[in-house]
A and B are shown apart, each in its own frame.
Chain A
Amino acid sequence: MESPEVAHTLNNQKETIQPETVKGSSYRAGNHGHLGPVFRVVVMIAIGVAFVYPIIGLLVAPTRTQANMALGGIAFGTLANVKYAWSQVMGFDNGIYLEWFKNTVIMVGGGTLLAIAISIPSGYAMARLQFPKRQALLFLTLLLMVMPNTVLVIPLFLEVSTVHLLNSLWPVVIIFGFYPFGVYLSYIHYRTALPMELIEAARVDGLTELAIFFRIAVPLSRQVVALVGFFSFVAGWTNFFLPYVLLPQTQQSPLAVGLLQMISSSQLINPEEGLNVKLYMPELALASIVTMLPVLLVFIGAQRYLQRGAMIGAIKE
């Protein structure tokens, strides 16, 4: 069988029986003959097309002109159009787009580093050490993890405005640094992927708990650091509500909030808007595509860890 490839798949246990499964289901379709699997494949491809077609439409939008887009469909225009669209994006409010980009990098970069620095040690302690109220802390972590973070935005606004810190970036960094899912990921990681024997051996050697964490657990944490980093980066980068509320000044906005500003200033919405630049669909599409590029880069960088991360589920004890 195709064993070398099997080793790289997420669901390695079942992969090897793949030929039987496929044959079996067609056989079971009975009087339909091979209609079952064929039908399934057609449905799957149709859904795939429905998922990808709009995305391609968005990706090619900057290569087209507004007039060309009125024709509908998907067509690749020219790179000159992309260049023009970019000049319009850059011209909007004296290149504030770059300012938004910088704000986002500071907020999300800082938040992600903080999330990693906080999640890894606490996840380790909850998984491998004993301390008072450990169960309660774990329960609270799970509870906060499954609650959509939107629910705390207005309470956070009330808190932050009371201490007069609206429009300052660092409260947002700290809030992004609070990432219960990262703690949970670390917790699962250290429970499943770190051999207890290693820790026991280190204890026998007389290392303190802190020394064990820093000298044994941390060097074996690349995987979970990548996972926590990736998920918290994406969560922060795409977050809209929190910065929208905590950073009302345009100068402090991240990209997500800035895009809203571009949409509402666009001649697409207000044809009579007196802007110095032309913001139509190609320009808006380009601005939002460039906004997602860092996420794409981080995704590519973290990909091999993400695949292995999905395998954590396979390690059941």
Chain B
Amino acid sequence: MLDNSAQPGITSAKTPSKNGKSVQKRNRPPSKGALILVAPFVVVMALVGVLPAIYALVESFASPTGNGFTAILNYVTVITNFRFLASFANVGLLLVVWLPMMIIGVVGMALLVDATRGRFGRLMMFIYYIPGALAGMTNFMLWLLLIDPGVSPVNFLLRALGATSLDGILASSSNVIWILAAMLFFEGAGSWILIVYGGLNSISDEVLDAAKIDGCSTWTTIWHVKLPLIKPWIGYLALMNFAYGFQIFLEPQVLNEVAQGLISPQWSPNQLSYTYAYSVGNTGAAAALSIILLVITLAIAMVVVTRTGILEQS
């Protein structure tokens, strides 16, 4: 897991956003040294971060036959594909299940850890973090183990729910949603607990003391003091995970291999994009779909960077 989501736990809590100008004035004139130091990053960013996006944009307007431009034909091809809406509906449902799980679960666990300082709290924090270390395929393997009634360490639970075979479980599309949500939660929760905990930790003791003096109960303090103060972190959590969840690829792709046809190979938009690029070889359509995903993601990223105030910009 430890991908981008692990990030801003390490950043400073307060965000002095508008003081960039005064800092600049104190600094010295541009130095050649600075340009040399940033040059490798700028080159790689152009090559790997910007150029592919521009190239995909150009390709998305290119004609499938390879000569000339066809305006929005590729976009029409993609959007009118019956799998397009279905894939968005799938990730939409997944987000409806998973995001509340993530927000309530992560904030709840962070509050629990925050209320329990000392060695026990630290130990539990560490334990909650462990599953986050099993990212990607290992996390998938763990869930494959859990949901296969033939080998599961929780087979008593599966039996109680009436499941007898892996195929039987995967045949139900709502089961698939819950399984994917559980996979994402299990590998994502740990590092986000750390981030939200960082937010709770930034609440000053004076504020909490004042609440105590005013006679706030534990619940009132949580509801009326702590949660409003960590709103930016909750917003950040929601937006980042929204962007992450609707990009899902690995889990449904591998689950499709396991399920042998029980799940659509184009379950998520990214899988559809992959199919266009690989199996169908329709570069224009693949490019068009990836541009659609890119625009949505970029919009979310803009909001995260400019609105949540979590990330420090000088």
Interface residues of A (CB under 8 A from B): 9-11, 13-15, 17-18, 21-22, 24-25, 28-30, 36, 40-41, 43-45, 47-48, 51-58, 61, 66, 69-70, 72-74, 114, 117-119, 121-122, 124-127, 129-132, 135, 137-159, 162, 174-175, 177-178, 180-181, 183-185, 188, 191-192, 208-210, 212-213, 227, 231, 234-235, 238-241, 244-245, 248, 255-256, 259-260, 263-264, 268-270, 280-281, 284-285, 288-289, 291-292, 295-296, 299, 309-310, 312-313, 315-317
Contact = CB atoms under 8 A, between A and B. Distances in A.
B11 A130 contact: no
B65 interface: no
Given A70-B150, A130-B27, A281-B151, A121 B3 contact: no
B171 interface: no
A231 B6 contact: yes
Interface string B266-309: 00001001100110000100110110011001101110110000
Interface in B1-44: 1-4, 6-7, 9-14, 20, 24, 27-38, 40-42, 44
B141 interface: yes
Contacts of B136: 238-240, 256
A36 B218 CA distance: 9
Interface stretch (B46-54, B87-95, B173-181): B46-54
A255 to B, nearest CB: 8
Contact of B48 (A70, A125, A175): A175
A143 B40 contact: no
Contacts of A118: 40-41, 44
A154 B290 contact: yes
A309 B10 contact: yes
Contact of A151 (B13, B286, B293): B293
A52 B249 contact: no
A57 B305 contact: no
A129 B35 CA distance: 9
A185 B311 CA distance: 11
Chain B interface helix/strand/loop/mixed: helix
Contacts of B155: 70, 72-73
28 contacts: A17-B205, A25-B218, A48-B127, A53-B154, A57-B146, A73-B155, A118-B44, A121-B38, A125-B37, A135-B20, A139-B305, A142-B313, A146-B304, A154-B287, A159-B52, A174-B47, A185-B10, A209-B34, A210-B33, A210-B37, A238-B136, A241-B249, A248-B278, A259-B141, A263-B141, A309-B10, A310-B10, A313-B10
Contact of A174 (B27, B48, B240): B48
Given A150-B247, A155-B287, A174-B48, A143 B305 contact: yes
Contacts of A150: 247, 249, 270
Interface in B203-242: 205, 212, 216-218, 240
A244 B252 CA distance: 14
Contacts of A149: 3-4
B105 to A, nearest CB: 9
Nearest to A30: B217
Q: Which 6 A-B pairs have the closest CB atoms?
A: A209-B33, A57-B153, A122-B41, A72-B155, A155-B52, A129-B34
A263 B258 contact: yes
A213 B35 CA distance: 13
B33 A208 contact: yes
B120 interface: yes
Contact of B1 (A43, A145, A238): A238
B38 A126 contact: yes
B201 interface: yes
A268 B148 contact: yes
A295 B297 CA distance: 29
B14 A74 contact: no
Contacts of A48: 124, 127-128
Given A53-B153, A148-B244, A154 B273 contact: yes
Given A143-B301, A154-B273, A40 B115 contact: yes
Contact of A139 (B33, B194, B313): B313
A154 B289 CA distance: 9
Contacts of A184: 7, 311
B294 A155 contact: yes
B134 A292 contact: yes
Contacts of A148: 3-4, 243-244, 247, 297
Contact of B45 (A17, A44, A178, A317): A178
B115 A25 contact: yes
Contacts of A143: 298, 301-302, 305
Contacts of B273: 154
Contact of B150 (A9, A69, A213, A317): A69
B27 A288 contact: no
Contacts of A58: 134, 138, 141-142, 145
A210 to B, nearest CB: 4
Highest count of chain A CB atoms <10 Å: which of B4, B51, B128, B298: B4
A74 B123 CA distance: 23
Contacts of B254: 260, 263
Contacts of A240: 136-137, 249-250
B164 interface: no
